[in-house]
Amino acid sequence: MIPDNIRILRDRISKKCLESSRDPGEIKIIAVSKNFGINEINSAFNEGLRDFGENRAQELIPKFEELGNKINWHFIGHLQRNKVRFAVKAAEYIHSVDSLLIASEINRLAAMNDKVQKILLQMKTSDEETKSGIEYESELLDIAGYCREFKNVDLVGLMTIAPFTDDIEKIKSSFRYLRNLRNELNEKGFSGINELSMGMTLDFETAIEEGATMLRIGSAIFGERIYN
């Protein structure tokens, strides 16, 4: 099932890239392996996927310890300060940095691990109360400015979660806003902020249209999750 799902996914990405005048090589598939085990991850790995995303530190660490650095791990869930040490230990990218406090803690712990941690700043681009992220452009600029001074943090992009809606224009607006923020940061001299982590199973084709460089795909690869 997983190999077939990945082939279908790649075909859909290629088709949407062709329609949007984009290069599929610009887009990284992050297989969201939350609630799935080592066998499923290995099945996706055998189909050429190398980037895997986890939402919870307590699930990331045992997978990292078993599979190690053959996988590029992405921490994509809400990150509490007391869990930062786990994300820094295992993840190549931390997508969900939503405050100066968390960015500073990542910098401190990355220094202790002799590591430069790649991060993305998470923006709240909808009015849904359940969504996390930085709400104001001024706050984004402030945090980005501090990150530029941190020696053990590499700010590489922005992340968002689109609103849960059937209104395609609201989803497009969310993604477009993130892209415009990225462009504004570049114009203000923040070099190296290139990644746009946006788009999941239900909206990744829209995200491609709006410039996504990282797609966080779970059920389209692994099937529906079973929650305990």
Query: In this structure, are residues 97 and 122 in contact, taking their beta carbons and an 8 Å threshold?
Result: yes
Q: Give the pLDDT score at 130.
A: 73
d(CA 89, CA 91): 6
Contact 209, 168 (CB under 8 A): no
Gap between the Cα atoms of 161 and 79, Å rounded: 15
pLDDT at 50: 97
Model pLDDT for residues 139-196, shown as the tens digit of each residue: 999 999 999 999 999 999 999 999 989 999 999 999 999 999 999 999 999 989 999 9
In the prediction, which pLDDT does 154 show?
98
Whole-angstrom distance, CA of residue 36 vs CA of residue 54? 10
pLDDT of residue 126: 83
Q: Which residues of the chain have pLDDT under 70?
A: 225-228
Domain spans of the chain? 1-75, 97-166+189-196
Predicted structure pTM score: 0.95
8-state DSSP, 20: T
User: Whose structure tokens read 């996390």?
Assistant: 132
Q: What pLDDT is stored for residue 112 in this prediction?
A: 97
Which of 55, 114, 112 lies closest to 87 in space, CA to CA?
55
Strands 51-54 and 28-32: parallel
- Tell me if residue 187 falls in helix, strand or coil: helix
Q: What is the pLDDT of residue 226?
A: 66
For position 16, what pLDDT does the model report?
A: 98
Question: Closest Cα partner for 51 from 35, 74, 69?
Answer: 74
- Work out the widest C-alpha separation in the chain, in whole angstroms: 47
116, 152 contact by CB (below 8 A) = yes
